[in-house]
Structure 1
Amino acid sequence: MKKTQLILLCLSIIAISQNIFGQAKKPTLMVLPSDNWCEQRYFMTEFDNQGTKQKVPNYKQAFQEDTELGQVITKLNSLLIRKAFEPKVAEQELKSIEAKTAEDNMTKSVASGAQIYESQLDKLRKRVKMDIIIQLWWKVNKDKSVSFTLEAFDAYTNKSIAAQTFNAPPSDDIMPVKLEKAISNSFDPFLGDLQNHFNDMHTNGREILITLKRWDNWDKNFETEINGEELSDYINKWMNENTINKRFNRTEATENLIIFEQVRIPIYDKNNNPMDAREFAKGLQKYLKASPFNYEVKLMQRGLGEAILVLGEK
């Protein structure tokens, strides 16, 4: 092979490799103001959680009343897009779930008249099914310099996967410009942590939590024997057959309760739709409802990353 041809071949291989790398699947992201940022600016909603007062961020109010928030998040989203990431626009998603919220507000308990409560973050997670949530915080210092902090969480487990603080020098620039200047030379390590986390999910599966319980009026339990084996053993076998590389930890196993933590499931189902804990647990629900068990099983969901199965009735 001539030297010129060899050089052209090498260049072609490099170009193909770079193209493949550039087209690597990226995680779906959503940028939101941090809880602390919302607390400092009084964008919080208080609710009664079984007798305990809790506060959660009111993102809708924050976007409506803070003149800088939307601009700063728009700028951050544009910087993410330049790096080939796929941010979802939180403000637009919040607007689109207004009708759904109205429907939920009409749903009340027959016994007490109580209403269903979901935080805006819970609603966003259900609707968008993002892979990663990036929380943004900033503080303006006396000399007009600004400190920005980005912290990324796995949307399914709430585990922190990346965090970095960026500093913008003193200036009279508007906040989005300050943000761009602050992160322009040091954004890649943060994004690299996000991509590494997503790559790990592709290889080892998405992490979720599965809990199994029993109603107190059920005449069976997880130690009940079927054809010589305990029910808990059948459930364990199903988990072995349906998790990625049989990766899960059974951290609790009694006659009334089974907890599986660090359960690794496929990122996408057979139709290439994002899989969450509920979709995965549906398979176990169907398994337990079929022969030889024929049990009634109630399936509940807590966020994207936790599913609860209660055996005995619905």
Structure 2
Amino acid sequence: MILPSDNWCEQRYFMTEFDNQGTKQKVPNYKQVFQEDAEINQVISKIGSLMIERGFPLKDAEQELKAIEARSAEDNMTSSTTSASSISESPLDKLKNKAKADIIIQIWWKINKTDKGNSVSFTLEAFDAFTSKRIASSTGIGSPNTTDLVPELLQKAVLANIDPFAAQLQKHFDDMFSNGREVIVTVKRWKSWDKNLSTEVNGEEITDYINKWMALNTTKGRFSTSDATENNIRFDQVRIPLFDSNNNALDARQFAKGLQKYLKAAPFNFEVKLMTRGLGEAILVLGEK
């Protein structure tokens, strides 16, 4: 999915400020971008065509946002037939109610006026939506001319630099197919739980069981433990298969559901709550739902 960069949105005042537990934060208002900016759709279309020609199909950001709005409107109109209660949606649900794609490509550009006409400077960056890691980047300045509009100027400038960018993307996909997709898995405990992750079950600590399950279920047993206490274990660089046994795409939530089922079964029989942050982070909390 191609989106304008945060800096591009900030420069054009397409930002929304919100209160995040007392801290003011700004986020891009993509709906306003697509409704009010005359160039963005043409720019995304031009760059999108270059990506499709190189074998990278794209989600349409504007259509995804419209679909989300339609689902939200439907939820707002839905009520219980018995109590007339509306569907419950927490602030966390609303935050996650956004367009999702495996790779987010962000574009920034600026018009330069010269004696020979206008030229365009651009930066194109791709981020893995699961890990927020930058996986590809390209920057350049197009040749000036006096006839082309911004979308054409940008298309020509990007075209001169896109093959190395596409090669970086392909390298990332090749790595995923070979070594699995990278996610984060965190296991915690409720404060009210009468056990902790050091508690022994049949002679072994709960932590040891979890580590063994991770080794058996990750791609090539690849994961790292960045934090481990009696209350919390955090696994980074967890490599999971792209698809499950039924050939369905696998994300952090679906992967962690396997660990959840494991800990809910004998000999543990724990209550386990499963939560997620975006596509790439799953959190299991032991002791209660």
TM-score by length of 2: 0.91
- Pairing partner for 1:84 from 48, 55, 63: 55
Return the match for 1:227 from 187, 198, 202.
202
| Equivalent residue for 1:290, pick from 253, 265, 282 | 265
Which stretches in structure 2 are left out of the alignment for 5+ residues?
77-85
Matching residue within 256, 265, 279 for 2:254: 279
Equivalent residue in structure 2 for 1:157, among 124, 131, 144 = 131
Instruction: Give the Å deviation of 1:312.
Output: 0.5
Partners of 1:77 and 1:264 lie apart in 2 by: 29
Distance, in Å, in 1 between the alignment partners of 2:273 and 2:252 is 14
Q: State the shift of 1:185 in Å.
A: 2.8
SS at match of 1:153: strand
Greater Cα shift, 270-279 or 257-266: 270-279
Do the aligned residues in 2 keep the contact of 1:47 with 1:53 (CA within 8 Å)? yes
Which residue, 142, 164, 182 being the options, matches 2:113? 142
Under a length normalisation based on structure 1, what TM-score does the superposition of the two structures give?
Answer: 0.84
Match of 2:158 among 169, 177, 183: 183
Q: For 1:262 and 1:84, locate their aligned partners in 2 and report how far apart those are by CA, in whole Å.
A: 27
Tell me, yes or no, if the aligned pair for 2:47 and 2:158 is still in contact at 8 Å.
no
Shift of 1:44: 1.1
Report matched runs for 1:229-248 at 5 Å: 229-248=204-223
Kindly indicate whether the alpha-carbon contact (under 8 Å) linking 1:108 and 1:115 is maintained by their aligned counterparts in 2.
no
Aligned pairs for 1:48-87 within 5 A: 48-87=19-58
**Does residue 168 of structure 2 align to residue 196 of structure 1?**
no
C-alpha distance in 1, partners of 2:184/2:13?
Answer: 33
Query: Does residue 103 of structure 2 align to residue 132 of structure 1?
Result: yes
**Matched letter for residue 152 of structure 1:** A
Separation of aligned partners in 2, 1:33 and 1:274: 27
Number of equivalenced pairs: 276
8 Å Cα contact 2:106/2:126 also seen in 1 = yes
1:86 counterpart SS class: coil
Gaps of at least 5 residues in structure 1 are 1-29
- Residues 1:256 and 2:246 are matched in the alignment: no
Q: Distance in 1 between matches of 2:285 and 2:157?
A: 50
Q: Is the 8 A contact 1:152 1:162 kept in 2?
A: yes
Distance in 1 (alpha carbons) for counterparts of 2:143 and 2:87: 51
Distance 1:230 1:107 in 2: 40
1:174 aligns with 2:149: yes
Structural RMSD (CA): 1.7
